[in-house]
Amino acid sequence: MSKNIIAIDAMGGDNAPKSVIAGLAISSIRNPTVNYVIYGNKNIIAPLLKRRTNLINMTEIVHVEGLVGDDEKASKALRRAKDTSMGQAIASVSDGAANAVVSGGNSGALMAMSIFGLKRLEGISRPALAAIMPTVNGEILALDLGANIECSSQNLVDFSIMGIVFAQKVLGRPHPKFAFLNVGEEENKGKNIIHDAVKIIEGESLKLFYDGYIEGNNVNFGKIDIVVSDGFSGNIMLKTAEGTAKLCSEYLRQVFNASLLGKISYFIGRSAFLAIRKKMDPRKHNGAVLLGLNGIVVKSHGGTDSLGFAHAVDLASEMSLKGYNEAIKHQLTELKLTEIKK
Amino acid sequence: MSKNIIAIDAMGGDNAPKSVIAGLAISSIRNPTVNYVIYGNKNIIAPLLKRRTNLINMTEIVHVEGLVGDDEKASKALRRAKDTSMGQAIASVSDGAANAVVSGGNSGALMAMSIFGLKRLEGISRPALAAIMPTVNGEILALDLGANIECSSQNLVDFSIMGIVFAQKVLGRPHPKFAFLNVGEEENKGKNIIHDAVKIIEGESLKLFYDGYIEGNNVNFGKIDIVVSDGFSGNIMLKTAEGTAKLCSEYLRQVFNASLLGKISYFIGRSAFLAIRKKMDPRKHNGAVLLGLNGIVVKSHGGTDSLGFAHAVDLASEMSLKGYNEAIKHQLTELKLTEIKK
């Protein structure tokens, strides 16, 4: 594949396909070398594209009548995958016609179809859902965020490798540090699967990137680049962070509305308040990636708008342009090298 | 026991015993009917008490030379419990001389000594660490926060009962709602131990208080009174919330310092900013309770100051005054009543 082609499921998400096309228009300006193939109802999509002159030249529409329902069971969606915009977009990646797929549709269906359609990368025991979270001085990659409720030690080790390659390729950090999410920093704290994962790492060159355990209150403080956990704990962490950030915004709103001085202060400092809102804008970190498959899969939040969808497309574009999947194949061998050659 | 007596480990925590005595002085004004027995080095404690005239009349000092080290292993501390201020304070609860114990010392040692010394309440499979978290319009009780890394379904059910009684007795909510922390709201989402806990509840009168699953992003939004989870997930939730709140404060500080208008806005709105800081002040929610033992055990954060310690003592005082442990014995029978009588 010489070109960078992103397959777009235009029919997934609350405001699809309108927010999808508007998001593509934004992302296309930031990534002018990418091409898109849009899967969905041509009769709705084509008129939306008409006004987007720059986008038209980068885009092809493939008409698909069916779509995956928001509440549709993953097993049912999987059976009729090829009749849906989501399923056809994924198939285009497995056929090699596209490098990546982006969808704002049903998460369970997207995971099931992607795992079934794209298959796991050789050497990866389970795929993982990963996303970028804000820290005080930058960003951190967190995985798994919910693809695997129960995990083995080997799963955690594989997630670490996928995270390291992501940090190197996409975040541009040549020597990233990863840590396991845990309830304490001492060696004997927490779950056995974590202790056993540490033992596996001890014998591999992966060890060079390992930075111990990290607790929930330190994740945002920029000491490491990747936080690795089972999917249950990772999901709790990500969503608690979302909820707490929302709570802080709400407190801010309440308190500055409560008095005249507060309102004046808000008026004078509104550029500062806007800057905070921008810093905390969840759309900036929209897009969770399903890592570990033969192809790039990005899940956009179903409730996001065009700006959020654009960030998800940016992520898919960057991963494609920077050759994430090629790199991971190489690194899988490197990082699992045992130091004592047999 | 007709009096409400709180045993205080004066020697635990970063600024002990100074912050401990100062905290007691604050709490004693709010709870004038409580008496304290302070365990620790009399030569250091007595001079600190001298200036606190109101406190002296409510207080007795028991001289103990030894103390539990911050990094001391729980197993080691357990063996020499009776030579330490922490161990003797706990023993006074098991002897019936005090209703509750408060310590800012080594968490692992406090848990081990308390479980060993006070024993589990009959009918409770495991004790749990609980704390109050802020929500947009009030407070929520969260448990377990780390006493049990791995949990059974029955553990989760027992935590729910302990939480309900706490919400009724201490938070003053006659009909509290509890939910299980999970990665989705649909019935089939998440871990099997949660699904099995739901099945147990189905057959008990406990069901009347059950409100389904809750995700990390909704915990702070006041729909329920109690969030129940295994100790690993609960710890991740609590600490992530702490870390994210700290991140928000840091953003606030950075952004308003970055421009002159920001600084002016801060100057004018400083009462609003102080109100936010107050709302988000972790000291207000200092004090984690080990529920499910024959006696009340409150762990104060080791790094807190006198205000924080005062909140931990408030919590122990309220639980004692409102008869938490008497109520739970009664409710254990009531809430586990099967609807279909055999």
pLDDT in the model for residue A339: 52
Q: Tokens 């006041």 — which residue?
A: B222
Question: B 117-176 residues with CB below 8 A of A?
Answer: 134-136, 146, 149-150
In whole angstroms, give the CA distance from residue A156 to residue A193.
8
For chains A and B, CB pairs below 8 A equal 187
Top CATH class, B1-122+292-322: alpha beta
Q: Which CATH number fits domain A131-283: 3.40.718.10, 3.40.50.2300, 3.40.50.1000, 3.40.50.10800?
A: 3.40.718.10
Q: How many CB atoms lie within 10 A of CB A79?
A: 10
Query: What Cα–Cα distance (Å) separates residue B267 from each residue in A264, A267, B10, B274?
Result: 11, 13, 40, 11
In whole angstroms, give the CA distance from residue B175 to residue B306.
34
Does residue B1 carry a pLDDT above 80? Answer: no
Write the pLDDT tens digit of every residue in A126-137.
999 999 998 988
Chain B CB contacts of A271 under 8 Å are: 259, 261-262
Q: Which CATH number fits domain A1-124+292-322: 3.40.50.300, 3.40.50.150, 3.40.718.10, 3.30.43.10?
A: 3.40.718.10
CB contact A70 to B (< 8 Å): no
Residues A252, B276: C-beta atoms closer than 8 Å: yes
CB contact B303 to A (< 8 Å): no
Residues of chain A with CATH 3.40.718.10: 1-124+292-322, 131-283
pLDDT (tens, 9 = 90+) of chain A, 342 residues, equals 457 999 999 999 999 999 999 999 999 999 999 999 999 999 999 999 998 988 999 999 999 999 999 989 999 999 999 999 999 999 999 999 999 999 999 999 999 999 999 999 999 999 999 999 989 888 999 999 999 999 999 999 999 999 999 999 999 999 999 999 999 998 889 999 999 999 999 988 899 999 999 999 999 998 999 999 999 999 999 999 999 999 988 888 888 888 888 888 888 888 888 888 887 788 888 999 999 999 999 999 999 999 999 999 999 999 999 999 999 988 888 887 765 443
Q: Say which of B232, B236, B271 has its CB closest to residue A259.
A: B271
Write the pLDDT tens digit of every residue in B237-259.
999 999 999 998 888 888 888 88
Query: Which fold is adopted by the domain B125-290?
Result: Isopropylmalate Dehydrogenase (3.40.718)
In whole angstroms, give the CA distance from residue B51 to residue B59.
13
**Average pLDDT value for chain B:** 92
Does residue B140 carry a pLDDT above 90? Answer: yes
CB A293 within 8 A of CB B294: no
CB A289 within 8 A of CB A101: no
Residues of chain B with CATH 3.40.718.10: 1-122+292-322, 125-290
CB contact B282 to A (< 8 Å): no
Helix (H, G, I), strand (E, B), or coil: what is residue A125?
Answer: coil
Does residue B340 carry a pLDDT above 70? Answer: no
CB contact A181 to B (< 8 Å): yes
In whole angstroms, give the CA distance from residue B109 to residue B11.
13
Write the pLDDT tens digit of every residue in B165-187.
999 999 999 999 999 999 999 88
Nearest Cα residue to A309 out of A277, A283, A280: A283
pLDDT in the model for residue A266: 84
Write the pLDDT tens digit of every residue in A268-304.
888 888 888 887 788 888 999 999 999 999 999 999 9
